[in-house]
Amino acid sequence: MRWLCAFLFFGCSSASSPTFCTPGAQRACACLDGKLGVQVCRSDGAGLEACQCGTIPDFGSLSDLGKAIDSAAAPDSAVVADLAVPPDFAVPPDFAVCSNQCVNGTTMCQNSTTTQTCADYNNDGCVEWGGSIPCGKGNVCIAGQCKPAGPCNGGAVPQVSWSARKDLPPFNNEGNETRTVSAVLAGQIHVFGGQYYLKHRVFDPSQNSWTFKNDTPGGMSIHEGAAVVVDNSLYGFSDGSFNKNDTLLWNANQDSWSTLAPNPWARRLPAIGVIDGLVYLAGAFAGNGDKVNRYSPGSNGWGDLKSLNLESGGMAAVVYKSKFYVFGGQDKNGVLQDQALVYEPAKDTWKKLASMPGTRYAGKAILRGSVAWILGGSNGTPQAQSYLFDFESELWCSGPQLPEPLYLFVAEQVSDKIYLIGGISSNSTYVRHVWEGSIQ
């Protein structure tokens, strides 16, 4: 009975020192879950502390509490004395049990440029949403927080100035085939494939020069496979040509290749990304378009992961905050895709995101801050238009134009510049162009 009595007795101070309630006195209050909590009168008697939920026996609802009080024995006089209830005890007319409207201290977006914060603004012991708080110039509200406006939610869309660099060099009488894959190691762009599938060429942006390295070994083409750098080591993943699914490791000192554990699945044009030193591959052609697996350089082993819901090859990919994002692609029936998906390794799950503004196959993706740039690709014809995806707002918008329409090309970043190499342009023309993009 001591806690029941504590809820019932409030007092106002004497007329010479008016207060709202007796400091330290308590009363019942309603919680967001419909249960009861406790409010304590502040030390100055001018109002109540916020409702503290989960601190009293569970009577279910306020009506249940009333029934319990009606059937209870008389209050313990010692408890009443502890409350120091003044002789002129009176209950203010608005002194009724209130309800919390929100969770104390949380914020929400009132609109795209203002926030609201949950607190006890009227000193009744319950919390409610406050007034509008502007985010300020150049900021927007996202998930209850004011953040700098991105290119897709009111911020400036970046522009790129493109300049031509030295073309991709042919090998002997190599034709125009310039479909390649790439990876950046020590500031240099390693490019694999072309008409001679096994070729390994290296572009040095600082010198605007090309060099040839030794071919990939034994018919193990990564021409339409994948390449990636992990812990300053360059790995290549065969594209399934000539029934080869090998994993390759390049020795930079000797310009030689060693063969590692083969991928269980033939992977032509897979999406690739690195998270915490592990290599993730998703989608492909060659009948394995829904497969997703992971390679561990440390153990030289493979493991299967949650499959895609749709077979798809030629997807662009980036890693952001330890999650693997893939965009676009083409299914096994040749249908081009506008999908955007994210894989979360900790849960082994895929989640569908807002679709791209248009379909894209065999484009490339780069990460700039919290924005993915989807460059080029084909929607039936090669495209120069890029798309931007803002991870914070999960919004899409149009980005800068490429210097020419491209798909099945190489895109890398070195020293804050973007490089585009080779690929297929308008009228199915193979190009050897190398473009350097400076972001304005």
- Tell me the DSSP string of 149-199: --TTTTSPPP-EEEEEEPPPPP-TT--S---EEEEEETTEEEEEESSSTT-
Looking at residue 34, its pLDDT comes to 65
Looking at residue 131, its pLDDT comes to 92
Looking at residue 184, its pLDDT comes to 98
Residues linked to residue 146 through DSSP beta bridges, in sequence order: 141
Is 78 exposed, middle or buried, given 0-12, 13-18 or 19+ CB atoms closer than 10 A? exposed
Looking at residue 54, its pLDDT comes to 67
Which residue ranges form the domains of the chain, and what is each CATH number?
2-83 (no CATH), 107-148 (no CATH), 160-439 (2.120.10.80)
Looking at residue 124, its pLDDT comes to 84
Structure-block tokens of residue 31: 């919680």
Looking at residue 323, its pLDDT comes to 98
Cα separation values, 111 from 64, 184, 416, Å: 39, 42, 35
Checking 118-124 for CB contacts under 8 A at 24+ apart, the result is 120/47, 120/48, 120/50, 123/20, 123/46, 123/47, 123/48, 124/47, 124/48, 124/94, 124/98
Looking at residue 38, its pLDDT comes to 80
Looking at residue 188, its pLDDT comes to 98
Tens place of pLDDT per residue across the chain (440 aa)? 333 333 444 443 344 444 677 888 887 777 766 677 787 888 888 777 887 876 554 444 444 444 444 443 333 333 333 333 333 434 344 445 688 899 999 999 999 889 999 999 988 889 999 999 999 988 889 889 898 888 998 888 999 999 999 999 987 766 666 778 999 999 999 999 876 678 899 999 999 999 999 988 876 778 888 999 999 999 999 887 666 788 999 999 999 999 999 999 888 899 999 999 999 999 998 678 899 999 999 999 999 999 999 899 999 999 999 999 999 999 989 999 999 999 999 999 999 999 999 999 999 999 999 999 999 999 999 999 999 999 988 999 999 999 999 999 999 999 999 999 999 999 999 999 999 999 98
Looking at residue 153, its pLDDT comes to 87
Sequence-ordered strand ranges (E) for 271-321: 271-275, 278-282, 292-296, 301-304, 316-320
CA 164 – CA 74 distance, rounded (Å) = 92
Looking at residue 79, its pLDDT comes to 33
